[in-house]
Each structure stands twice: as structure tokens, then as C-alpha cells.
Structure 1
Amino acid sequence: PDPHPDHTPELTARMFGDDPLDFAAASDGDGDRNMIMGPAMVVSPGDSLAILAAHADCVPRYRDGLKGLARSMPTSRAADRVAAALGIEMHETPTGWKFFTNLLDAGRITLCGEESFGTGSDHVREKDGLWAVLFWLNVLAATGKGVGEVVVGHWSRFGRDYYQRHDYEGLEVGPAQAFMQGLREAAVEAEGRQIAGYRVQSAEDFAYSDPVDGSEVKQQGVTVRLSPDARVTYRLSGTGSSGATLRVYLERFEDPAGDLHRDPAEALAAVAEVSRAFAGIEARLGRTEPSVIT
């Protein structure tokens, strides 16, 4: 099945040429990250982790089953649904590979991943992009399916987590920190608010207690859970070229029986509205739109 049924052959040809690729993979200079592509689609990192977990029996090393899965807090919840189906542990960690390492060393998880295109397993204590690409090739060879067929088949079984990240770059550090403190305070009384057709189910500043060594970290980002099944996460990052960057992660779950083939921007339009209204981004940061959408 075509993962983008609205893409006519003419549109696909304009996007990818007359001979669209069947499979492509990209990595970075040290080979620790990975991006998987098929005809007219890029596989989101959250979907990629979930798909590898769901097809682990295609790889000899993992045929005896997985111990558990882990994802960073901003990463989509697609892997959570696979873990629940497999009856294995699922860990939500702060951003930072060291939190995965503790779980890997303790034998609590087999696969892990983050929304910034990092994926790993218990064969090594770091993310491994080349391994992930080979894993994908093994899945395609074992199933005899293309990338689009594998992805759509996964959505048809587990549902789809529509997902985007909106970055507001080049913020002044002081006002950006004050903005996050305001979000933490707003989260305390957020339950029950109605915004753009969604009800705020809960809001919290993410804190993590490591199940291996008992260490605790706080103020890892504010997550707003919405009903029906959606969420917005806000994190402040200092890794930009200048100033601070506010990263806003949007996610909405679509049941397997729903529309699995919408453009993510369209599917997440109301969630994006919630993200701006709840936080008062325009009023408090002076930004009417994100610098980058991924």
C-alpha cells in the first residue's frame, strides 16, 4: 500500500525523480545516528524504534525475545505500544544517552532510541547508526516488503503516533529560562483546561528516578497530556549556535481504524495550536512561528 495515497505519480516524480528510491539510509560523520527513507517518505525516529522492536524476530540475535525498551521522554510513544503488546518493560528516560547506558548495563532493556535519530541495543553501550541500517535491511529481506509496506503495516497493527518537533531558536537565555519557570507554575493548575478541542488531562515537569542506581534528576521538560490521546512537551536546550532553543514536541495518536495517511502538519494542527496557547509563546517570547519544523 502507498503510505501517501494522495501523492500522484506526477508528484512523486517531481519530488524524487522518475525513478523513486526503494530504500535509502543516512548517517552522520561518526556513524552513530540513522535516518531511514523509502519511496516518498522518511521514517520518523519514534516509528523506527517501534518497528525494529516489533520485528526483532527477523534478526537472529533477538529471536529469543527482548528484555525491554527505552525511549527519551520527548520521543514519540510508538515504542510504548509495542512494549505493551510484547509484555516487556518500557522505560521513559530524560534526554541523554547515559540514562540508556545504565539500563543496558543492568540488563533491563535490549533496544533504545531518541527522537534525534539515535538508536541502540545491548550489543554496544552507545547509539549505533550502522547497526540500525543493517537491522532495517534484515527486516526488509526477511519480510520481503518495502519500507512503505512495513511502516503502513505497523500503523495498521499498532496505530500511528503523528509527531513533529517545533524549534524556536536564538532565544535570549534569561527570558527563555523565565518562560520555562512560568510553564512549571502553570502546570500545577492546568488540569481540566479546554484548548482547541482538547482537554488538559495532566501537566507535569518531568522528573526521573533511575531504577538502577537510584539517582534522581528534575526539571527535564514540561509535558502536557491531552484528551483525546495527544501530548505536548516543552524543553529548553542550550545546544544551538547562539542563545537558547525552545523545543516543542507535538504528538497525537491515531487508532488503527482511523486515518493513518494524513500529512503530519495537518494532523497536528490543533495540537500545535494548543502548544502555543497553553504556553503563551507569542506573548511571552515574541515568536509567532517556529524557526524550524522537523
Structure 2
Amino acid sequence: MVKTAPIEGQQPGTSGLRKKVAVFSKPGYLETYTQAIFNAIDPAGKTYVLGGDGRFFNDAAIVTILRMAAANGVAKIILGQDGILSTPAVSHLIRKRSADGGFILSASHNPGGPDGDFGLKYNTENGGPAPEALTDKIVACAETIGDYKIGGDPFEALETLGDLGLYTFDGMEIEIVDPVEDYATLMESLFDFDAIRSMIAGGFTLRFDAMHAVTGPYATEILERRLGAAQGSVVNGVPLVDFGEGHPDPNPVWAKELFDHMHAPDAPDFGAASDGDGDRNMIVGKGIYVAPSDSLALLAANAHLAPGYAKGISGVARSMPTSAASDRVAKALGVEAFQTPTGWKFFGNLLDAGRATLCGEESAGTGSDHVREKDGLWAVLLWLNILAVRKDSVADILRDHWQTYGRDYYSRHDYEGLESTSANALMVELKGKLPTLPGQIAAGLTVTKAEDFAYTDPIDGSVAIGQGIILTFEGGARAMLRLSGTGTEGATLRVYLEQYADTQSDLDRDVQDALKPVRDAASELAGIQRHTGRMSADVVS
């Protein structure tokens, strides 16, 4: 038993607790937060999955959590070999092995290395992130903690954890498993690997950028070994503690190497990338980028082409900032469409209840009811399955989708590293103006509705308020504004812009040109320049 005290700032965001490595590695910091989780979940006699994306501090954190798990009476830990497990692989293992929960060590798409970020997220027995009620309980435990339990060092060095098998430490069993095998087998059960193999054997080419993150081994095993893609189709496939000094966020800005390659004259037929912990994806065809909102909608419209979804889908759920493109598909299919707050945890009840089959977020997260996390490689494989069946290019399939459902021009503008005081003042002022905004004209657009988004879970009735602001305009335009919960420095204002164009409209406009009126209207109404001093966003994706 080691004495401790509550530590300021140990409040998880939309996906666990994320801080700089320098913060997480302070003596007692990880221990105090881990004990708060244990205090909230009553772990004695239970089984948990443990693994991470291999970023800096991953190995040291695993040893600490193993020591604390034994001291808190945990019966068994299922650990990924060398401490590696992608986030969807953790979710799958929890469900397959009927574990009581899992600990995921990652800061997702945030940079790694000694000066980078680290994170810890707890997932429950359904394989999904802790729901709001449990998160609140963990925070309450962190605010009242007085000591933590920790045992001795289970292994001399983490290299020992590279050996598969069973080990015992202080009465706790540790099972070290292959991080890829079970996940790859699950993918093979969902998709027509024979059709994809045949397509590749017929000359179809692809490039997958693992961004030196966790999906490298998964993509190499599945795409190259099981599906027959040429050796070298997976690039940046070796996980590194600092992601090769890159930013493992799969979008046209941070995956620019892949994006440019896919727009070159000799581009392969299909390109994709994944993020730090393997739960996000970017899809690029030869000469064309697929926005995440469009990808969700297109996957929903074509999911029946994959064996795992041949019976159809029950519904589609999207986060509030995600475009309404998937709603139009759901309506055409005659299934339910849901709009939830940002954060994958809000999809869990819908998936468990069978109300939704596919879910997605504009931030490149897409998934289904096969796990309770978003899943980057799953999205890539569903795309490949669709391409193999339809025998069309990515560009042709995407344009056919727009001609069928219309197009939601969409973009996200991030204002990063803002002073928290200024960012909060912007949101407070805008919220105060909401009742007066309908009917106002800004940048030539008329506001029809202005709301501070709140969500009532249709399964358990829980309510989440203050989830972001939605401004709706005449002519099918929307702007959504919220402060991000995934950063570790200052504040990030995210502004999501959407403009619907029906099937009779020009469907090939430049995205930013199409969105300029709604961008200007949102900026004017929110006073972005006045509050932040920024003339434009830092990152546009």
C-alpha cells in the first residue's frame, strides 16, 4: 500500500485519460489513476485484457499495471505479445474470452515519443469504452483516493513478455497471446477473402500506410500474407515508439505521403491508412479522396455485399459532427438512423440492443457490431470486399453513390492550441445567443435552427448535454462547433461544415468552395477571429 492523494486533471475525455508522457510518467501519476479505475470496478477475482499501441512509455506502463492488478486481486490478465494490441483487437478479445474488461494504453492519433502523448482507457465487459456513469465513478474515485496497491516486478524486463504462454505472478495468471491471430480470424469470418484474393491476383493494386503504428503487423498478416497483396504493399509497417516522428492521424494532412502517392500518375487502385491504435482509417482511390462521412454512408449502402452483413443492417449511427449522408442511406434502406454525441461509447447501447449495425464518426472512425470500438482495418476490408464484388473503381463507386443519394460536401476546420479561456468564452457567448439566432442572416445564409446538442439514449434513457452547437441554415447547410476532448495542450476548437447538394446539382465542385458560405457564416456568428485571433484554421481536413 502506497500513500497518494488526488491529482488535478485526472478526468478522462471522450476516449480515456490523455496527457503528455512527461505527466503520465511522473512518480505516482499512472498508479493513482489506475487505482482509481480499480476502485471503481471491484477487480478481485476477475479477468482483464491489457495492451497498447507500442508508443513510448507503453512497456513501463504495462509492468506497472501488471503489478497493480496482482496487488488488487485480479485473477488473470490476457496480454498482447510485447505489450501490443490494437484497440479493436482488445475489444474483440474481451468479447471472445468473456473477460470482465480491458485496459488500452494509447493516445490514439496523437503523436508519440518522449515529448509526445500517452493515454489510458478502460473498456467494459461488452468490449466498449466505459459509459458515462462508470467514467463519472472513476473520476469520483480519483477525487477521493488516498492510497494505491502495487506488488513487486513480475519480470526482469519487458522482453520476457515476448514469449507466448502462461505465467504466474503473486497468484495472478498472465496469458501472453498473439496480438494478430484472433483478430485476423474474425476478419476472415466477416469478409469474402476468396473474392478479394481473386481481385488482387487479377492485377488489383493497393497501398496501406500503417504510419509506423500498431496496425503494421495486422495489415501485413491480412493484406499481404492472407490476401496476397504484393510484398511492400504495407508501408511504414513497423510500429515505432515515436511513430517515426510522425503524427499517426490518417487524414490528407498527416498522411500526405499516401495522399500524394494516390494522386500520382502511377497510383495503385486503392489506398488506405490507419492511426496510432488502429481504430481510424483513411480511404483514397486513384485520384480521389473519400471523406469519412461519405465512407460511412457508402459502406452502409453496400454492406450486404460482404458475407458478414448479407442479411442487411438494422440501423446506422453517426456522431453529431458527422454529415447526414448516412441518414439518407438509412432512410432508403428503411432502417433506423441515430445521431449521438462524439465518442464511441455512445454507440455501445445501440449495438448491444441490435438497433444499429454500422457506426461512424467524421474523425475517420468507422465500425460495426463485430466489436464495440471503431476499427480501421475492418473498414479497409469492407471497402475491398465491395470493390471485389462490384468490380468498379473507388471513384466510380463514390460518384455513383452521389448520383443516387446526393452529395454532402463536408470539411472539418481545427483551430489548435488555443488559450482555454478564449475558447471557452467563444462557446459560452455562442450558447447564450442561440435563442436569438433563428431568422438571422450571416454571410448570405439564413439560420433556421440553433441548438446546444443534447442526447437521450434510447436504450437506457441516460442524458448527455452540452455536446456541441449545431447551426442549421436554409439550403441544406450545417455548421457544428465543439471543443475537442482528445488533445493534451490548450484547447482545440473544431468547426464542422456541411452543405447538401441534391442529385440534380453540381456534384464535382471543389469542397472548400462549396463550403465557403457556411464557413463564413459560422465564423461570423461565433466570432472566431475576435475570440481566437486566428484568421483561418490550423488544420483543414
TM class, shorter-length: over 0.9
1:22-63 deviations in Å (ceiling 9; x for gaps):
111111243221111111221111000100111122112222
Kindly indicate whether the alpha-carbon contact (under 8 Å) linking 1:27 and 1:35 is maintained by their aligned counterparts in 2. yes
Aligned to 1:30: 277
- Residue identity in the other structure for 2:482: R
Aligned to 2:440: 193
Give the Cα–Cα distance (whole angstroms) in 1 for the partners of residues 284 and 407 of structure 2. Answer: 17
Aligned pairs for 1:76-87 within 5 A:
76-87=323-334
Give the Cα–Cα distance (whole angstroms) in 1 for the partners of residues 304 and 484 of structure 2. Answer: 37
1:170 aligned residue (387, 412, 417): 417
Aligned to 1:68: 315
1:209-230 deviations in Å (ceiling 9; x for gaps):
0111111011100100000111
Aligned to 2:486: 239
1:285 aligned residue (507, 532, 539): 532
- SS of 1:95's equivalent in the other structure is coil
The percentage of aligned residue pairs carrying the same residue is: 56
Aligned to 1:257: 504
- SS of 2:473's equivalent in the other structure is strand
1:184-242 deviations in Å (ceiling 9; x for gaps):
11111100011222110000000000111111011100100000111000001243342
Aligned pairs for 1:3-82 within 5 A:
16-82=263-329
Higher mean C-alpha deviation, range 15-24 or range 173-182:
15-24
After TM superposition, the score normalised by the length of structure 2 is 0.51
Kindly indicate whether the alpha-carbon contact (under 8 Å) linking 1:234 and 1:246 is maintained by their aligned counterparts in 2. yes
Give the Cα–Cα distance (whole angstroms) in 2 for the partners of residues 50 and 244 of structure 1. Answer: 30
With over 3 angstroms needed to count, the CA separation of the structure-2 counterparts of 1:176 and 1:30, relative to structure 1, is closer
2:371 matches 1:103 = no
Give the Cα–Cα distance (whole angstroms) in 1 for the partners of residues 535 and 384 of structure 2. Answer: 42
1:220 aligned residue (464, 467, 472): 467
1:135-189 deviations in Å (ceiling 9; x for gaps):
0001001111010000000000000000011111111112211211111111111
Kindly indicate whether the alpha-carbon contact (under 8 Å) linking 1:13 and 1:19 is maintained by their aligned counterparts in 2. no
2:520 matches 1:273 = yes
The higher radius of gyration belongs to 2
Give the Cα–Cα distance (whole angstroms) in 2 for the partners of residues 227 and 281 of structure 1. Answer: 22
Give the Cα–Cα distance (whole angstroms) in 2 for the partners of residues 29 and 180 of structure 1. Answer: 30
Kindly indicate whether the alpha-carbon contact (under 8 Å) linking 2:262 and 2:285 is maintained by their aligned counterparts in 1. no
Give the Cα–Cα distance (whole angstroms) in 1 for the partners of residues 496 and 537 of structure 2. Answer: 12
Aligned to 1:132: 379
Higher mean C-alpha deviation, range 165-174 or range 235-244:
235-244
Aligned to 2:391: 144
Higher mean C-alpha deviation, range 169-178 or range 45-54:
169-178
With over 3 angstroms needed to count, the CA separation of the structure-2 counterparts of 1:15 and 1:106, relative to structure 1, is closer
Aligned to 1:5: none
- SS of 2:337's equivalent in the other structure is strand
Give the Cα–Cα distance (whole angstroms) in 1 for the partners of residues 278 and 434 of structure 2. Answer: 39
1:235-265 deviations in Å (ceiling 9; x for gaps):
0124334200110000000111111011101
Give the Cα–Cα distance (whole angstroms) in 2 for the partners of residues 203 and 68 of structure 1. Answer: 27
Kindly indicate whether the alpha-carbon contact (under 8 Å) linking 2:262 and 2:271 is maintained by their aligned counterparts in 1. no
Kindly indicate whether the alpha-carbon contact (under 8 Å) linking 1:184 and 1:205 is maintained by their aligned counterparts in 2. yes
After TM superposition, the score normalised by the length of structure 1 is 0.93
2:426 matches 1:179 = yes
Residue ranges of structure 2 left out of the alignment (5+ in a row): 1-258
Aligned to 1:8: none
With over 3 angstroms needed to count, the CA separation of the structure-2 counterparts of 1:112 and 1:13, relative to structure 1, is closer
Kindly indicate whether the alpha-carbon contact (under 8 Å) linking 1:166 and 1:293 is maintained by their aligned counterparts in 2. yes
Give the Cα–Cα distance (whole angstroms) in 2 for the partners of residues 188 and 236 of structure 1. Answer: 21
- Residue identity in the other structure for 2:337: M
Give the Cα–Cα distance (whole angstroms) in 2 for the partners of residues 109 and 183 of structure 1. Answer: 33
Kindly indicate whether the alpha-carbon contact (under 8 Å) linking 2:425 and 2:531 is maintained by their aligned counterparts in 1. no
With over 3 angstroms needed to count, the CA separation of the structure-2 counterparts of 1:177 and 1:231, relative to structure 1, is same
Give the Cα–Cα distance (whole angstroms) in 2 for the partners of residues 174 and 149 of structure 1. Answer: 47
Aligned to 2:66: none
- Residue identity in the other structure for 1:260: L
Aligned positions, number: 283
Give the Cα–Cα distance (whole angstroms) in 2 for the partners of residues 233 and 153 of structure 1. Answer: 27
Kindly indicate whether the alpha-carbon contact (under 8 Å) linking 2:262 and 2:284 is maintained by their aligned counterparts in 1. no
**How far did 1:13 drift?**
9.7
* RCO higher in structure (CA 8 A, sep ≥6): 1
How large is the Cα RMSD of the aligned pairs? 1.6
Residue ranges of structure 1 left out of the alignment (5+ in a row): 1-11
Give the Cα–Cα distance (whole angstroms) in 2 for the partners of residues 188 and 14 of structure 1. Answer: 48
**How far did 1:285 drift?**
2.2
Kindly indicate whether the alpha-carbon contact (under 8 Å) linking 2:269 and 2:286 is maintained by their aligned counterparts in 1. yes
Aligned to 2:99: none
Give the Cα–Cα distance (whole angstroms) in 1 for the partners of residues 425 and 515 of structure 2. Answer: 27
- SS of 2:280's equivalent in the other structure is coil
Give the Cα–Cα distance (whole angstroms) in 2 for the partners of residues 283 and 126 of structure 1. Answer: 38
**How far did 1:127 drift?**
1.1
